[in-house]
């Protein structure tokens, strides 16, 4: 079945460091790919998405490119801030029809030190 | 425009009890999906409701059941609670006109003691 694998955390970085969180997927067909963020005590927020191969999703300085050849969707940010501390989830879904559910990775906790 | 809302925010129950969680979808959405997020894990799909019927279900026992009302709001019921049911329960709504993209509520934190 479809699945998402992302790097285990926690990831600890200093402010202004470069961030990469790796994500790979297994899927039949051509899913849409997502990164969600969960701040402490809160629900999930969609951070960015890409719906087809070679698309780049971007938001709030974060970027991820849909790489079909490597089945990857790595999250990057050039200069992280303390406020970026959260748990990040890579996910996929067909979203081609009403029945499509979201399949999530286990999440990567990110700590940014001032 | 109100987003997805869930109630209650937090809930504490005892093993063996039953619990009902509630979800109101985003305005204009007609489909509700429920997810369970155990501590330190990613959300897992429980089931989805559309037109007041369960349309598909994840790998959860029959103790988990749901309902959708004519106004598209939904309930998640869990019977015979186990300690392992302690989790954050997330509701997401979607619609065909929105390309079926799911929008999440803030969740209900259930603690079973």
Residue-level pLDDT, tens digit, chain A, 114 residues: 889 999 988 999 999 999 999 999 998 878 889 999 999 878 888 899 998 899 999 999 999 999 999 999 999 999 999 999 999 999 998 755 555 788 999 999 999 999
More confident: B61 or A96 = B61
Nearest to B18 by CA among B107, B74, B82: B82
**Cα first-last separation, chain A:** 41
Bridge partners for A92 per DSSP: A33, A103
**For residues B34 and B53, is the Cβ–Cβ distance under 8 A?**
no
pLDDT at A43: 82
pLDDT at B1: 64
Distances (CA, A) of A56 to A37, A72, B31: 17, 12, 28
Distances (CA, A) of A46 to A35, A92, B28, B99: 6, 12, 19, 15
Bridge partners for A59 per DSSP: A62
- The phi, psi pair for B85, rounded to 5°, reads -80, -5
Look at the alpha carbons of A92, A38, A72, B101 in this order and tell me if their dihedral is positive or negative: positive
Say if residue B100's pLDDT is above 70: no
Instruction: Closest CB to A106: pick one of B42, B101, B103.
Output: B42
Say if residue B8's pLDDT is above 80: yes
Quote the Cα angle for A49-B57-B87, to 5°.
75
Average pLDDT over residues B92-105: 77
Instruction: Select from A46, A86, A91, A102 the residue whose CB has the most chain B CBs within 10 Å, as the one to mutate to test that interface.
Output: A102
Q: Tokens 């029945």 appear where?
A: A99
Helices (H), A1-114: none
Average pLDDT over residues B21-34: 94
Distances (CA, A) of B29 to A29, A45, A114, B22, B74: 26, 17, 41, 16, 12
pLDDT at A17: 97
Say if residue B56's pLDDT is above 90: no
Instruction: Closest CB to B100: pick one of A36, A42, A97.
Output: A97
pLDDT at B98: 54
Beta carbons of B48 and A101 less than 8 Å apart: yes
Average pLDDT over residues B81-87: 98
Size of interface A-B (CB pairs under 8 A): 57
pLDDT at A14: 97
Measured between CB atoms, does B60 come within 8 Å of chain A? Answer: no
pLDDT at B91: 96
Say if residue B73's pLDDT is above 80: yes
């Amino acid at each position: 079945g479809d699945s998402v694998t992302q790097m285990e955390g926690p990831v600890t970085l200093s402010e202004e460091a470069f961030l990469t969180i790796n994500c790979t997927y297994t899927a039949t067909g051509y899913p849409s790919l997502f990164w969600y963020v969960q701040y402490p005590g809160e629900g999930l927020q969609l951070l960015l998405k890409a719906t087809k191969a070679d698309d780049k999703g971007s938001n709030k300085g974060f970027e991820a490119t849909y790489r079909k050849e490597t089945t990857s969707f790595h999250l990057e940010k050039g200069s992280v801030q303390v406020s970026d501390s959260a748990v990040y989830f890579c996910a996929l879904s067909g979203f081609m029809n009403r029945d499509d559910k979201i399949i999530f990775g286990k999440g990567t906790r990110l700590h940014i030190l001032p | 425009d109100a987003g997805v809302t869930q109630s209650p925010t937090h809930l504490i129950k005892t093993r063996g009890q039953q619990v009902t969680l509630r979800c109101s979808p985003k305005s204009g959405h007609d489909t509700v999906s429920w997810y369970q997020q155990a501590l330190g894990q990613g959300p897992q799909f429980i089931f989805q409701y559309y037109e007041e019927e369960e349309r598909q279900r994840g790998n959860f026992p029959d103790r988990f059941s749901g309902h959708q009302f004519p106004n598209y709001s939904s309930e998640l019921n869990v019977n015979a609670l186990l300690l392992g049911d302690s989790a954050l329960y997330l509701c997401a709504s979607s619609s065909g006109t929105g390309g079926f993209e799911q929008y999440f509520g803030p969740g209900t934190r259930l603690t079973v003691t």
